[in-house]
Amino acid sequence: MSIKNQIKNLRNPKLSQNHVEKFINDLKVEIEIRKKRNTKRIVFSSVFIIFLLPIFSYITFLSDSNDTYLISEQNSIEQKEDFNLDQHNLHFESIDYIIDNSDLIISECVLSCDMAEEYNSCIVNFALGI
């Protein structure tokens, strides 16, 4: 007999009706367990998003808003507090530079730059790397 026919003739185990019923019952139980597990996961994720994420965002915002600079009437930025611009690979030469590269800086910064032209100087708070 050829290999193909031998394989075709391989006997599969006989599955009784009870076996199938038991399988379906076990399957239902497992599906219910996984549904509950999924619900818990969804609840936990929602709690994380609703409560914890805003807290983390606020903390991040606080730490970012400490970067304070002075824009002088010569349109140059001077470092006001202990903050090394070189460490952040940023170098600002003029307000035009800030405006041209505004993708680095949040929109509030650009608004503040407009104010700088009006009042000759102002303090700008911005988040780096945005």
Partner 1 sequence: MKSKQNITLKLIDKFKNGDEKAFDEIVKLHYESIFNLLLRLVGNKLDADDLCQETFIRVYKYIKKFKGKSQFSTWLYRIAYNVANTFFRKQKIQQFFSYDINEETIISNDPIEDYEMNPILSKNINLLPKKQKSILVFRIVEGLKYKEISKIMNISINSAKVNYHYAIETLKKRIKESNVN
* Binding residues for partner 1 (CB under 8 A): 3-4, 6-13, 15, 20, 23-24, 26-27, 30-31, 34
Minimal distance, residue 22 CB to partner 1, in Å: 10
- Strand, coil or helix: what is 70? strand
Smaller CB separation from partner 1, 17 or 84: 17
The residue (of 38 and 57) whose beta carbon lies closer to partner 1 is: 38
Which are the contacts of 87, defined by CB distance < 8 A and separation ≥ 6?
Answer: none
Cβ nearer to partner 1, comparing 8 with 91: 8
Q: Taking a C-beta distance cutoff of 8 angstroms, is the pair 83, 127 a contact?
A: no
Q: Find the Cα–Cα–Cα–Cα dihedral 55, 57, 59, 61, rounded to 10°.
A: -150
Closest separation in Å from C-beta 23 to partner 1: 6
- Smallest gap from Cβ 43 to partner 1, in A, equals 19
Q: Take residue 64 and report the two structure tokens written for it.
A: 């970012």
